[in-house]
């Protein structure tokens, strides 16, 4: 699971899924695709576990 940062709203629908079509119909689809790709990479780079796992002996 990733964390939404300020400004990420334009890349997500209300259910958290990614927008593959730009919100503005006049926006260049190829440019949007690249922005979404870079945005998704940001999710992966900042994805850290929320809990620490400890082994019980």
Q: Give the pLDDT confidence of 1-56 residue by residue, as tens digits.
A: 456 677 788 888 888 888 999 988 999 999 999 999 988 888 777 655 555 555 56
Task: Find where tokens 């400890």 sit.
Answer: 54
Task: Find where tokens 């006049």 sit.
Answer: 26
Count of all residues that appear for the chain in the document: 57
| Cβ contact 22:47 at 8 Å | no
The pair of structure tokens assigned to 38 is: 């870079």
Residues 6+ apart with CB under 8 A from 40: 18
User: What local confidence, expressed as pLDDT, does residue 31 receive?
Assistant: 93
User: What local confidence, expressed as pLDDT, does residue 27 receive?
Assistant: 93
CA 9, CA 3: separation in Å to the nearest integer?
Answer: 11
């Amino acid at each position: 699971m990733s964390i939404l940062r300020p400004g990420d709203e334009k890349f997500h629908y209300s259910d958290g899924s990614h927008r593959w079509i730009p919100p503005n119909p006049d926006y260049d689809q190829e440019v949007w695709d690249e922005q979404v790709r870079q945005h998704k990479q940001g999710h992966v780079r900042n994805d850290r576990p929320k809990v620490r796992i400890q082994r019980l002996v």
